[in-house]
């Protein structure tokens, strides 16, 4: 028996020497034997692969002919019998055609005539989308983009999958949560900690396919359960003009007077100045100017710009100091509108250059005391002094300002679109809610349409909407007079416009300008709010709005005499903020009834 066992073991070891390890033997076995695939199935797979390869070859041949012979490209495409492969090839060819300039699509008509009739629907979609893009100058929204909001918690993989199925690409606008900048002072971090757990929608800016109109792309996204909203990327327009005057500056600080900077008298800046001289200390407040860009090296803004946090959100938050404006001889972003707004808030006082900003009257170089600095955030995707921004980049800019420590935000823009649904602004409203929850005061111009219709973003709850007055403290005829207006400030008129700074080249003397509109009423309020926060940092947004309204000593009637608006009184507002007694002020809400 033992001999038989030994013999069996010897034979087994000998067979293993010849064949190797059993697992190795399995690895060397042909795949079709392991999976038990029949020869017929193998042939079918090979035939399918051959058809795909041949189909790819036909599409490549067709693509090579689209510029020279559209009919030939169509005939080649018609050889593909499989409908899915045919449509995929058709889209490739049409994508190539519609990526060209209109003048280069000479063979497109010949292609569409010769291609199979089953292509008609897809061709029609491309034509509709092309017409929309070509008409972009007349639209109230960006032609090739859609703003999409996802339920918070939707994974990055899921978003990428949906975009791959629906659009050409995307850019993340809002991750749904606040990421506090590490470089902030502790007192700013402490203020932001209370909203660190606040979650909102995840928002992306989707670049749509050449085949889709904006409406069609919206409908595609709305088919997914995790998509909360898909809407147009609406334009907002600047609410003021910028005009360069004639003449030269001949003396130091010549414009800080009752003739040129007349608005300073109307808002009682002298009262604020006297109160601030008595203040023992001031907290440095950061004001985010969200606009078309600011000339950060303007001589009257020297030392007033937070260069680290002054960025272009349309280019991945690149610093303005590192991103020259190639179309400008000034060498950097020099938005006239944004520079004028920044100057009205923080242009240096007592420096022998141009005029002074509202918040700069508190500055004292001798004691190194400063009330305000500017965070310049460019959010239009045009170069230089563009006059339009989109709601997606505006929301992105607001989120950046909040997470990087701004206490005040100035937006001198309002929605250009005449008809819209309130839900279209979900992403923007969420950004503003986050800002208000962090006690960031969002000051917005009410618009220059002269109507009583609500204009956004001024109409959002928690925002301080600002209308305009003439030099005689009467309501400006061009100013919006809706319930969105919380307070009014000088906006100027013909012959008596608002003075501020403008981009200057090589420190030449003509770095000043005059303008008109609610665009320049808003920064007067923003500058006042900065002074109020500087003397009493713990004021909430609600308390600030309440003080602004209660401190007004002049009530401005609307043109229909049924509306009354408080006129900004900077002197009294700063005094009330400085000596505010403990206790809550009544909550001020916008009344749309």
**Does 82 lie in the same domain as 10?**
no
Give the C-alpha separation, 387 to 414, whole Å. Answer: 11
**Does 149 lie in the same domain as 126?**
no
Last residue of a domain, one of 87, 117, 134: 134
- Is-contact 533 425, C-beta < 8 A? no
Can you give the pLDDT at residue 240? 76
Give the C-alpha separation, 75 to 72, whole Å. Answer: 5
519 is catalytic: yes
**Does 173 lie in the same domain as 50?**
no
Paired strand residues for 564: 557
**Does 146 lie in the same domain as 105?**
no
Can you give the pLDDT at residue 591? 58
Q: Which ranges in 411-540 belong to alpha helices (H)?
A: 426-437, 522-535
Can you give the pLDDT at residue 588? 57
Residue 235 lies in a domain: no
**Does 149 lie in the same domain as 125?**
no
Q: What single string gives the DSSP state of each residue in 492-526?
A: -BTTBPEEEE---STT-S--EEEE-SGGGTHHHHH
C-alpha distances in angstroms, 554 versus 298, 421, 495, 538? 35, 35, 23, 27
Residue 305 lies in a domain: yes
SS3 368: coil
| Of the candidates 516, 491, 499, the residue with the CA atom closest to the CA atom of residue 247 | 499
Q: Which of 263, 298, 337, 404 is catalytic?
A: 337
- Which domain does 20 fall in, by range? 2-30
Can you give the pLDDT at residue 221? 96
- Is-contact 475 556, C-beta < 8 A? yes
Contacts for 383 with CB less than 8 Å, ≥ 6 apart? 325, 326, 327, 328
Q: Which of 174, 239, 253, 291 is catalytic?
A: 291
| Of the candidates 289, 286, 269, 274, the residue with the CA atom closest to the CA atom of residue 340 | 289
Paired strand residues for 443: 410, 464
Neighbours of 96 (CB within 10 A): 17
CATH classification of the domain holding 428? 3.40.50.200
**Structural tokens at position 436:** 């208000």
Query: pTM value?
Result: 0.83
Can you give the pLDDT at residue 325? 54
Contacts for 575 with CB less than 8 Å, ≥ 6 apart? 271, 272, 275, 551
197 is catalytic: no
Residue 587 lies in a domain: no
What is the length of the chain? 593
Can you give the pLDDT at residue 592? 52
Give the C-alpha separation, 83 to 87, whole Å. Answer: 6
Give the C-alpha separation, 339 to 226, whole Å. Answer: 41
Give the C-alpha separation, 488 to 467, whole Å. Answer: 4
Residue 245 lies in a domain: no
Contacts for 149 with CB less than 8 Å, ≥ 6 apart? 201, 202, 203, 227, 228, 229, 230, 426, 427, 430
**Does 226 lie in the same domain as 295?**
no
Residue 593 lies in a domain: no
SS3 491: coil
**Does 212 lie in the same domain as 282?**
no
C-alpha distances in angstroms, 358 versus 35, 141, 288, 461? 80, 34, 15, 26
Domains: count for the chain: 4
Can you give the pLDDT at residue 507? 52
| Inter-helix orientation angle 70-78/39-65, to 10° | 170
Q: What single string gives the DSSP state of each residue in 272-339?
A: HHHHHHT-S----EEEEEEES---TT-GGGTTTB-GGG-EEGGGTSEEGGGS--TT-TTSS---HHHH
Residue 451 lies in a domain: yes
- Is-contact 456 447, C-beta < 8 A? no
Give the C-alpha separation, 17 to 46, whole Å. Answer: 37
**Does 274 lie in the same domain as 198?**
no
Give the C-alpha separation, 34 to 496, whole Å. Answer: 90
Residue 246 lies in a domain: no
568-558-264 Cα angle (round to 5): 25
**Does 320 lie in the same domain as 433?**
yes
Can you give the pLDDT at residue 164? 94
Last residue of a domain, one of 115, 134, 153: 134
Can you give the pLDDT at residue 53? 57
Can you give the pLDDT at residue 52? 54
**Does 328 lie in the same domain as 220?**
no
Give the C-alpha separation, 107 to 67, whole Å. Answer: 6
**Does 299 lie in the same domain as 168?**
no
**Structural tokens at position 369:** 């005391």
Give the C-alpha separation, 334 to 246, whole Å. Answer: 20
**Does 369 lie in the same domain as 473?**
yes
368 is catalytic: no
pLDDT tens series, the chain, 593 aa = 444 544 444 444 444 444 444 444 344 444 444 456 677 666 666 555 555 556 688 888 888 888 899 999 889 888 888 888 899 899 999 999 999 988 888 899 999 999 999 999 999 999 999 999 999 888 888 899 999 999 999 999 999 999 999 999 999 999 999 888 988 989 898 889 888 888 999 999 999 999 999 999 999 999 999 999 999 998 888 887 766 554 333 324 444 555 667 888 889 888 888 888 777 778 899 999 999 888 888 888 888 999 999 998 988 888 888 776 544 444 445 578 888 999 999 888 777 666 788 988 887 765 677 889 999 999 876 544 445 788 999 999 999 999 999 999 999 999 866 666 666 788 999 999 999 999 999 999 999 998 888 889 999 999 999 999 999 999 999 999 999 999 999 998 888 888 888 887 655 546 677 889 999 999 999 999 999 999 999 999 999 999 999 999 888 888 776 678 999 999 999 999 988 755 455 555 665 54
CATH classification of the domain holding 215? 3.30.70
Can you give the pLDDT at residue 298? 83
CA-CA-CA-CA torsion for 216, 219, 221, 223, nearest 10 degrees? -140
Residue 152 lies in a domain: yes
Q: Which ranges in 176-283 belong to alpha helices (H)?
A: 186-193, 214-221, 262-266, 269-277
SS3 483: coil
Give the C-alpha separation, 493 to 477, whole Å. Answer: 9
Rg (CA), the chain: 32
Last residue of a domain, one of 86, 101, 134: 134
């Amino acid at each position: 028996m033992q001999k038989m066992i030994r013999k069996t073991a010897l034979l087994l070891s000998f067979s293993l020497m010849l064949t190797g390890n059993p697992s190795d033997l399995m690895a060397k076995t042909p795949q079709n034997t392991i999976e038990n695939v029949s020869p017929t199935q193998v042939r079918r797979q090979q035939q399918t692969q051959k058809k795909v390869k041949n189909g790819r070859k036909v599409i490549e041949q067709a693509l090579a002919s689209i510029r020279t012979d559209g009919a030939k490209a169509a005939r080649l495409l018609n050889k593909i019998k499989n409908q899915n492969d045919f449509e995929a090839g058709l889209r490739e060819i049409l994508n190539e055609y519609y990526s060209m300039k209109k003048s280069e699509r000479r063979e497109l008509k010949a292609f569409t005539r010769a291609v199979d009739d089953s292509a008609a629907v897809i061709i029609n979609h491309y034509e509709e989308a092309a017409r929309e893009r070509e008409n972009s100058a007349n639209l109230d929204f960006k032609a090739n983009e859609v703003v999409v909001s996802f339920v918070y918690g939707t994974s990055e993989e899921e978003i990428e999958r949906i975009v791959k199925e629906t659009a050409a690409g995307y850019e993340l606008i809002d991750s749904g949560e606040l990421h506090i900048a590490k470089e902030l002072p502790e007192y700013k971090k402490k203020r932001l900690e209370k909203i660190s757990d606040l979650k909102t929608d995840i928002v992306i800016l989707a670049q749509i396919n050449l085949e889709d109109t904006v409406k069609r792309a919206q409908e595609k996204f709305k088919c997914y359960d995790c998509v909360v909203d898909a809407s147009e990327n609406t334009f907002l327009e600047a609410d003021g003009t910028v005009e360069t005057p004639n003449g030269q500056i001949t003396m130091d600080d010549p414009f800080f007077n009752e003739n040129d900077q007349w608005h300073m008298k109307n808002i009682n800046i002298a009262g604020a100045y006297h109160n601030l001289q008595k203040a023992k200390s001031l907290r440095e407040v950061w004001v985010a100017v969200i606009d078309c860009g600011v000339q950060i090296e303007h001589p009257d803004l020297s030392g007033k710009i937070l260069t680290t946090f002054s960025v272009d959100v349309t280019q991945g938050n690149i610093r303005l100091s590192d991103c020259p404006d190639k179309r400008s001889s000034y060498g950097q972003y020099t938005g006239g509108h944004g520079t004028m707004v920044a100057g009205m808030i923080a242009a240096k006082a007592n420096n022998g250059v141009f005029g002074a900003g509202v918040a700069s009257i508190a500055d004292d170089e001798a004691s190194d005391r400063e009330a305000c600095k500017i965070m310049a955030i460019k959010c239009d995707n045009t170069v230089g002094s563009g006059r339009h921004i989109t709601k997606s980049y505006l929301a992105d800019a607001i989120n950046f300002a909040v997470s990087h420590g701004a206490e005040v935000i100035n937006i001198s823009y309002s929605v250009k679109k005449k008809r819209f649904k309130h839900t279209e602004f979900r992403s923007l409203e969420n950004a503003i809610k986050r800002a208000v929850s962090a006690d960031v005061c969002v000051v917005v111009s009410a618009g220059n349409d002269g109507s009583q219709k609500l204009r956004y973003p001024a109409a959002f709850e928690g925002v301080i909407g600002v209308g305009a007055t003439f030099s005689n403290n009467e309501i400006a005829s061009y100013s919006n007079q809706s319930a969105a207006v919380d307070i009014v400030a000088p906006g100027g008129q013909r012959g008596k416009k608002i003075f501020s700074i403008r981009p200057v080249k090589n420190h030449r003397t003509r770095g000043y300008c005059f303008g008109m509109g609610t665009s320049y009423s808003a920064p007067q309020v923003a500058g006042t709010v900065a002074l109020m926060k500087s003397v009493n940092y713990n004021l909430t947004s609600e308390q600030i709005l309440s003080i602004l309204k209660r401190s007004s000593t002049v009530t401005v009637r609307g043109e229909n005499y049924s509306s009354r608006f408080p006129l900004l009184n900077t002197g009294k507002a700063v005094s009330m903020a400085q000596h505010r007694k403990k206790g809550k002020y009544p909550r001020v809400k916008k009344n749309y009834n």
